[in-house]
Amino acid sequence: MSEKSLRIGVIGAGRIGIVHSGSIADTPNATVAYVCDAIADSAEKLATKYGAKHTTNVDDLFTSGDVDAIIVGSPTSTHVDLISRAIDAGIHVLCEKPVDLDIKRANSIKDKVANSKTNVSIAFNHRYDPSFAQAHARFKAGEIGKLEQLILTSRDPAPPPGAYIAVSGGIFRDQAIHDFDIARFFVSEILEVSTFASNVFSDEIKAEGDYDSALTILRGSKGELVSVINSRHSAYGYDQRVEAFGDKGMLQVSNMTPTTVTAYTSGATETRDGYLAFFLERYAASYRKELALFIESIQTGKQLNPTYDDGCKALEIADAATESAKTGKVVTLK
């Protein structure tokens, strides 16, 4: 551990915290310095693995002087406050999506973030998936000409527990927000949103006033049309696809299987495996890339990840989709 090593505090010792801690450990010149979690055992367990300090009191990360940057994987309601405190403490921050469930609260620190001397990044990791990233790069390089239509499919293998649904902000702020960010990755400005949402399989989700299925269409400022297809379940596994249609061609990102084995039996040919189980497996490479870029951002002073503003804009689209689904009206973004 060199003196120049970036000392990272991990807030939230859940799935994401564990993934990022592993990535940090694999990164030269970065160290898991502190782990904070409301559950002391979780914090200790993760901290011990990487020789880090641990605490249940997030104040320790801001005051100890042991932390150069934090990764925020704690509940959404804590995000805005932690970002704000990180800026005050001169600490860099990579914060999970969404920024907040309340766009007003998110917007309340926009200026502060804009003037921050430290790096503030929002963890829309899908942008770093090697396939999504390559499709985007080839689009930007002109391979499909002018983008006309973008079709994004995002279906989870199974719905989250009801307790999570209750605090998730709903399918649009929790799940579809990744797709809205990818929409903004390809289409510079989104003007209008129309959403049809349904409750077709989960009474538990319905009981929370949320939807289990949704189709959203977005209109971009250059006439681009975006279709976002969401479901909270999928019998055949995690389904994450992109179709970018331009006047010169089309690029698609299809799903990933763990192997390249194909089976042939009576009446069923060319059968592939089930897909990679869920986001931790499917986006394993993108989590590593996300962290690497965050560290590089700090080292170079360049913003390489999605910005706080990106986080707010994706949330605005999610809000508009929620409103459209509820009111049955097309919503115009300001």
Considering only residues 255 to 274 of the shown chain, the ones binding a second copy according to CB under 8 A are: 255-274
Closest contact distance (angstroms) between CB of 178 and a second copy is 17
Choosing from 118, 233, 278, 323, the residue that interacts with a second copy (CB under 8 A) is 233
Token pair for 133: 């990233």
32 - beta bridge partners?
8
Q: Does 31 bind a second copy (CB under 8 A)?
A: no
- List of residues 6+ apart from 72 with CB closer than 8 A: 11, 12, 78, 79, 82, 83, 93, 94, 95, 96
Backbone angles phi and psi of 255, in degrees to 5: -80, 165
Q: Which stretch binds a second copy (CB under 8 A): 52-60, 81-89, 177-185, 249-257?
A: 249-257
C-alpha 178/C-alpha 150 separation (Å) is 14
* 253 binds a second copy, rule: CB under 8 A: yes
Q: Which stretch binds a second copy (CB under 8 A): 35-43, 64-72, 100-108, 133-141?
A: 133-141
| Number of residues counted as binding a second copy (CB under 8 A) | 78
- Quick one: 116 or 131, whose CB is closer to a second copy? 131
100/129 with CB nearer a second copy: 129
User: Which one of residues 90, 163, 223, 280 is an interface residue with a second copy (CB under 8 A)?
Assistant: 223
**Considering the rule CB under 8 A, would residue 194 count as an interface residue with a second copy?**
yes
Beta bridge partners, 152, equal 228, 242
Stretch that binds a second copy, among 52-60, 75-83, 169-177, 323-331 (CB under 8 A): 323-331
Whole-number minimum distance, CB 36 to a second copy, in Å?
25
Tokens linked to 14? 């859940």
Determine the Cα–Cα distance for residues 123 and 120; give it in Å rounded to an integer. 10
Q: Judged by CB under 8 A, which stretch of 3-11, 221-229, 297-305, 307-315 contacts a second copy?
A: 221-229
Terminal-to-terminal C-alpha distance of the chain: 48
Stretch that binds a second copy, among 68-76, 117-125, 138-146, 162-170 (CB under 8 A): 138-146
Which residues have CB under 8 Å from 237's CB, separation 6+? Answer: 157, 255, 274, 275, 276, 277
Residue 42: CB minimum distance to a second copy, A: 21
- Contact between 2 and a second copy by CB under 8 A: the answer reads no
Residue 146 is a binding residue for a second copy (CB under 8 A): yes
Handedness of CA 111, 113, 115, 121 (dihedral sign): negative
Min dist. Cβ of residue 277 to a second copy (A): 11
Residues forming beta bridges with residue 6, ordered by sequence position: 30
Give yes or no for residue 158 binding a second copy (CB under 8 A). no
* Peptide bond connecting 98 to the previous residue in cis, omega within 30 degrees of 0: yes
Could you give the CA distance from residue 249 to residue 311 in angstroms, rounded to a whole number?
A: 30
